[in-house]
Amino acid sequence: MPKFEDCLQRLEKIVQELEKGEVPLEKSLTLFEEGMQLSSSCRKELEEAEGKVEILLKQNGKLQVEPFESLTEKTPTRG
């Protein structure tokens, strides 16, 4: 399974190619299909990461879900 960043980069290239409108229909469909697969695997990775963040927050004694960005602002409480 490709890395999240690689998926995003490939998706951006596909979108750029499709937006140019110079791609033949057959190739457009192939690119679109690949894009959909990449999009779905990116979404899965994001959901998994979100799940891990929620678990970590619960282990930390907090039950509410916090946005991922706020984690970077806090100092780790590991000893």
Which of 2-6, 49-53, 62-66, 75-79 ranks highest by mean pLDDT? 49-53
11 in a domain, yes or no? yes
Q: What is the pLDDT of residue 77?
A: 52
79 in a domain, yes or no? no
Kindly give, in sequence order, each residue whose CB lies less than 8 Å from that of residue 14, ignoring residues fewer than 6 positions away. Answer: 31, 32, 34, 35, 38
Kindly give, in sequence order, each residue whose CB lies less than 8 Å from that of residue 7, ignoring residues fewer than 6 positions away. Answer: 38, 41, 42, 45
Reported as a single tens digit per residue, the pLDDT across 4-52 is 899 999 999 999 999 998 999 999 999 999 999 999 999 999 999 999 8
pTM over 0.85: no
Q: What is the pLDDT of residue 72?
A: 47
User: What is the extent of the structural domain holding 33?
Assistant: 4-73
51 in a domain, yes or no? yes
57 in a domain, yes or no? yes
Q: What is the pLDDT of residue 4?
A: 87
25 in a domain, yes or no? yes
Q: What is the pLDDT of residue 54?
A: 85
Coil vs helix vs strand at 25: helix
Query: Based on the structure, what is the number of domains in the chain?
Result: 1
